[in-house]
Amino acid sequence: MDDEPGFDDFVAEQTDTLLRFGYVLTGNPHDAADLVQEALVRLCGAWPRVRHKDSPHSYVRTTMARLHISVWRRRRREHLTREPPERVHHEVFPPDEEQGLWEELAALPRRQRAVLVLRYYEQLSDTEIAQVLGISPGTVRSQAFRGLDKLRSSLSSSPATHRSMR
């Protein structure tokens, strides 16, 4: 994009980081790639404004989190299958021995997963998470509590997953 200086460099530098963030949000490398692509399209449109005022990385993370939540709101249900589809492993995604935890995280409701990802992966405060997701700080805390509670109970009932976390 010759008319948008710095955008190509930003995309080249941040793609792997954004794919990892998208993977943590969605639990699926294909959905993560779609999420990153849509967020970068939106960033491109806002690039002249964002590159001078805000952190482009923060803008894209916020956009990705909001897109992820809006998809959840549109679908309202996930269709579960007996066997998960085969997943392609890329170096930007976690190794096979860590897949148990990621699968448990992916099984959480979208809002709980988004709150936990923003809190522990992106290390945002409750106030920052509330701003990103457009919810109150109290909702952030309750969603984090519920999500952690579900993770603890599912990991304690699954010894194979628990061993892979050590």
What are the tens digits of pLDDT across the range 98-118? Answer: 667 778 888 899 899 999 989
Cα separation, 38 vs 149, in Å, equals: 32
pTM of model > 0.75: no
CATH class of the domain defined by 91-166: mainly alpha
Contact call for residues 105 and 113 (beta carbons, < 8 A): yes
Task: Please provide the DSSP assignment of 101-162 as one string.
Answer: HHHHHHTS-HHHHHHHIIIIIS---HHHHHHHHTS-HHHHHHHHHHHHHHHHHHHHS-HHHH
Looking at residue 164, what is its pLDDT?
46
Q: Which of the following CATH numbers is that of domain 1-83: 3.90.320, 3.30.750, 3.10.450, 1.10.1740?
A: 1.10.1740
For the segment 14-21, the average pLDDT, to the nearest whole number, is: 91
Q: Is 166 a residue whose pLDDT tops 50?
A: no
